Amino acid sequence: MTRGGPTRPAVGAVIVAAGSGTRMGRPKQFLPLCGLPVCEWALKAFLDCPEVVKVALVLSPENIGLHGARLAGERVAVVPGGATRMGSVRNGFAALPPEVDAVAVHDGARPLVTPAVIRAAVEAALRTGAAVVSVPAKDTLKRAAPDGTVAETPDRAQYWQAQTPQAYRRGVLADALSRFAQEADATDESQLVERTGQKVSIVEGSYENIKVTTPEDLVTAEAFLSSRLGRPSERTGFGYDIHRLVEGRPLMLAGVEVPHTKGLLGHSDGDAALHAACDAVLGAMGDGEIGIAFPPSDPRFKGLDSRRIVEHVLEKAAARGAAIEHLDVTLVAEEPKLKPHYGRMADSLAACFRLERGRVNLKAKSHEGLGEIGRGEAIACYAVATVRLRSGAVAPL
Ligand code: MG
């Protein structure tokens, strides 16, 4: 099959992003990185190659629920992961159209892959059958003996560190996956291809194409991406909100219900914490306030779940390549006492904004009995957001 001319091959891609991320403490593929989840940078690089006709994005069932509908599209099939990496590769491969000439398999935890590296791997695979992107080993290697001493210092010049993408003519990969169908422990599929007798070419890649495995890798990836995107600027935004406390409504704060005899009155669910936090993020981006997109006069937003407002703000941030560095939220309430609910509210705030827990802080103050807040007639909220913006990503006037 050809597209856009007689010489362009049709390429399928499998992006494996179904791992559990045990070394990171949580699945690493959806950690935020310069305004996009880690694996979406990889997806973007493949979609930037017009010869890639279909990407099978292999996700865990949980992430299919959270992100599947948003990520699936004409060129993207969202596919459930298998029990092992090879199971995931098989599921992804099965979702590609049979007409593709080559298949590139990529690790969703390598966000710094570029279209140039993808093309180099695919071209080598079409020429030779199979190709693995690798970099020459930089460190002196030691082989350890069982007693923990050095058994041997091999010649470093002969060693390469394998990365992804790894690309294959379609038939070569199909053959390896079917002949070694029971293979569970392989850490990459090229070792199965080697076992079929097929030579695997080495394509020199880039040391930037790191795998995000441990927390410090995220710092490195962020530094590489930021330099590609241009010098980022950090901005601070402030948000404020107040709602009246009335009988007969649930008290929603930071996306969770806090037990109380009253709740916040509002056209929406009245969640002052989410409203203030959203306004703070919009403020940092120079992007107005939540009432512009969600006017209280609009009947469509009656009873609105404020998490939808957060989604809207996150979409705006992603479109600008803006990354929320930190949210600090201060509630002011005489009643109920909010301290017992700090943990739940802060966890929910982090989840709503898809931030690591360490990037949010939530606290509450009483109003010392003063004024309407002090009389328990209202709850107010202040929020400060620190947001990193890609250069040129500041909203136009
Ligand atoms: Mg409000």
Look at residue 4 and tell me whether its pLDDT is greater than 50: no
In this prediction, residue 231 carries a pLDDT of 62
In this prediction, residue 396 carries a pLDDT of 37
Assess contact for 276 and 383: CB atoms under 8 A: yes
In this prediction, residue 320 carries a pLDDT of 84
Tell me the helix, strand and coil percentages in the chain, rounded to 5: 35, 30, 35
Mean pLDDT to the nearest integer, 251-265: 97
Mean of all residue pLDDT scores within the chain:
92
Output the CA 387–ligand 1 centroid distance in Å: 21
Output the CA 150–ligand 1 centroid distance in Å: 65
Pick the closest to residue 212 from 29, 363, 343 (CA basis).
29
Assess contact for 334 and 303: CB atoms under 8 A: no
Residue 60 has phi, psi (to 5 degrees) of -70, 155
Output the CA 265–ligand 1 centroid distance in Å: 9
Domain boundary among 183, 212, 229: 229
β-partners of residue 245 are 264
Assess contact for 91 and 61: CB atoms under 8 A: no
Mean pLDDT to the nearest integer, 228-234: 75
Q: What is the pLDDT of residues 73-96, one digit of tens each?
A: 999 999 999 988 899 999 999 999
Mean pLDDT to the nearest integer, 28-45: 91
Q: What is the pLDDT of residues 276-317, one digit of tens each?
A: 999 999 999 999 999 998 988 888 888 899 999 999 999 999
Helix (H) or strand (E) holding 85: helix 85-94
Q: Would 3 be classed as within a structural domain?
A: no
Mean pLDDT to the nearest integer, 9-31: 83
Q: Would 291 be classed as within a structural domain?
A: yes
Output the CA 234–ligand 1 centroid distance in Å: 26
Identify whether residues 94 and 191 lie together within a single domain.
Answer: yes
Peptide bond connecting 336 to the previous residue in cis, omega within 30 degrees of 0: yes
In this prediction, residue 24 carries a pLDDT of 61
Look at residue 258 and tell me whether its pLDDT is greater than 70: yes
Domain boundary among 208, 229, 250: 229
Output the CA 361–ligand 1 centroid distance in Å: 20
Residue 198 has phi, psi (to 5 degrees) of -75, 130
Q: Would 42 be classed as within a structural domain?
A: yes
Total domain count, the chain: 2
Output the CA 267–ligand 1 centroid distance in Å: 8
Output the CA 142–ligand 1 centroid distance in Å: 61
Output the CA 276–ligand 1 centroid distance in Å: 7
Output the CA 333–ligand 1 centroid distance in Å: 15
Residue 380 has a CB neighbour count (10 Å cut-off) of 18
Pick the closest to residue 335 from 254, 253, 262 (CA basis).
262
Output the CA 245–ligand 1 centroid distance in Å: 12
Output the CA 308–ligand 1 centroid distance in Å: 13
Grade residue 21 by pLDDT with cuts at 50, 70 and 90. Answer: low
In this prediction, residue 393 carries a pLDDT of 44
Q: Would 397 be classed as within a structural domain?
A: no
In this prediction, residue 232 carries a pLDDT of 66
Look at residue 394 and tell me whether its pLDDT is greater than 70: no
Q: Residue 251 is part of which domain span?
A: 233-389
Identify whether residues 224 and 244 lie together within a single domain.
Answer: no
CATH of the domain at 363: 3.30.1330.50
Look at residue 2 and tell me whether its pLDDT is greater than 50: no
Output the CA 242–ligand 1 centroid distance in Å: 6
Residue with tokens 């017009």: 50
Output the CA 275–ligand 1 centroid distance in Å: 5
Assign 54 to helix, strand or coil. strand
| Pairing of the two strands 233-247 and 378-389 | antiparallel
CA angle in degrees (0–180, nearest 5) for 114-61-215: 50
Mean pLDDT to the nearest integer, 127-151: 96
Domain boundary among 178, 212, 229: 229
Output the CA 317–ligand 1 centroid distance in Å: 20
Output the CA 199–ligand 1 centroid distance in Å: 63
Assess contact for 327 and 349: CB atoms under 8 A: yes
| Rounded-to-integer distance, Cα 110 and Cα 33, Å | 12
Q: Would 350 be classed as within a structural domain?
A: yes
Assess contact for 251 and 244: CB atoms under 8 A: no
Look at residue 1 and tell me whether its pLDDT is greater than 80: no
In this prediction, residue 25 carries a pLDDT of 61
Pick the closest to residue 313 from 328, 334, 291, 332 (CA basis).
291
Output the CA 272–ligand 1 centroid distance in Å: 5
Mean pLDDT to the nearest integer, 161-177: 97
Identify whether residues 215 and 339 lie together within a single domain.
Answer: no
Mean pLDDT to the nearest integer, 318-330: 93
Output the CA 243–ligand 1 centroid distance in Å: 6
Look at residue 47 and tell me whether its pLDDT is greater than 80: yes
Q: Which two tokens stand for residue 220?
A: 């490195």
Q: Which two tokens stand for residue 395?
A: 């909203």
In this prediction, residue 72 carries a pLDDT of 96
Look at residue 323 and tell me whether its pLDDT is greater than 90: yes
Grade residue 23 by pLDDT with cuts at 50, 70 and 90. Answer: low
Mean pLDDT to the nearest integer, 116-143: 97
CATH of the domain at 187: 3.90.550.10
How many CA atoms within 13 Å lie on the side-chain side of 373?
A: 16
Q: Among residues of the chain, what percentage have pLDDT more than 70?
A: 94
Residues within 5 A (CB) of ion ligand 1: 241, 275
Please, what's the b/e burial string for 119-131 (b: 16 or more CB within 10 A of its CB; e: otherwise)?
A: bbbbebbbebbbb
Output the CA 37–ligand 1 centroid distance in Å: 28
Identify whether residues 249 and 337 lie together within a single domain.
Answer: yes
Output the CA 363–ligand 1 centroid distance in Å: 18
Output the CA 271–ligand 1 centroid distance in Å: 6
Grade residue 319 by pLDDT with cuts at 50, 70 and 90. Answer: confident
Q: What is the pLDDT of residues 179-205, one digit of tens each?
A: 987 777 788 999 999 999 999 999 999
Identify whether residues 169 and 311 lie together within a single domain.
Answer: no
